[in-house]
Copies of this chain bind each other. A is one copy, B any other.
Amino acid sequence: MTIATRKQREKEEMRSLILDSARKVFLEKGYSQTSVRNIAEEMEYSPGTIYLYFKDKDEIFHELHEEGFRRMLEKMQPLEHVPDPFERLKAMGRVYLEFARNNKDLYDLMFIIQAPIKHEEEPEKWQMGQRTLEYLKNVLSDCQAKGHFKNQDVEYLSFAIWSTVHGMSALYCRDRCKAYPNIDPLDLMNNGIKAFNEMLEKL
């Protein structure tokens, strides 16, 4: 094993250490409340070191962003085995909302935080997001093959569906569920998606 490859490996380990520390602090304090100094302190290095491995705070953001989509896809993957596509679609909705609730800050990172797109047009940064969306569109096509959603365009339908589950998640993440002071947010989401599923069933 050459020195060069060991150096390479150490470089990657350092990146991992930074990402691990960043994730920890992000999930503890939330993205905007986390400073580069906080991350440096967590990993017991100086702030300057981080900038030897990442261009800026946004690059750390993007890495964790992709990781979020990987995790979400992992949760979706097992649903591949649900035979009926419409049942699979409903299960996906449940998994999506569950993911948002259980990973509030990560969900925030993935879908709500202002995407810091500095160098306009970097579609490669959104690979994982694209794949998740493709997954949804495929399920919708499968549904159509079984007679659902006649005369509907998968593109627009997928957007409407995504909007609904994202809307619920976003309202939950940003505490807008408090607009219903007498209803528990979990109850609100469960029964809200139930009503939505009934709509889908009849479409």
Contact = CB atoms under 8 A, between A and B. Distances in A.
- Copies of this protein in the assembly total 2
Interface string A139-171: 000000000000011011101101111111011
Interface stretch (A6-14, A16-24, A36-44, A110-118): A110-118
A195 B198 CA distance: 14
Nearest to A202: B202
A176 B123 contact: no
Contacts of A126: 178-179
Interface stretch (A45-53, A71-79, A84-92, A180-188): A180-188
A189 B167 CA distance: 14
A82 interface: no
Contacts of A183: 155
Given A160-B164, A163-B164, A167-B166, A191 B112 contact: no
A175 B112 contact: no
A175 B32 CA distance: 19
Interface in A104-142: 111-115, 117, 123, 126, 129-130, 133
A198 to B, nearest CB: 6
A196 interface: yes
A156 B195 CA distance: 7
A194 interface: yes
Best-surrounded residue of A32, A123, A162 (most CB of chain B within 10 A): A162
A189 to B, nearest CB: 8
Contact of A170 (B133, B167, B196, B199): B167
Interface of A: 32, 111-115, 117, 123, 126, 129-130, 133, 152-153, 155-157, 159-160, 162-168, 170-171, 174-176, 178-181, 183, 188-189, 191-196, 198-200, 202-203
11 contacts: A115-B174, A152-B195, A153-B195, A155-B183, A159-B189, A160-B193, A162-B167, A163-B167, A163-B168, A164-B164, A202-B202
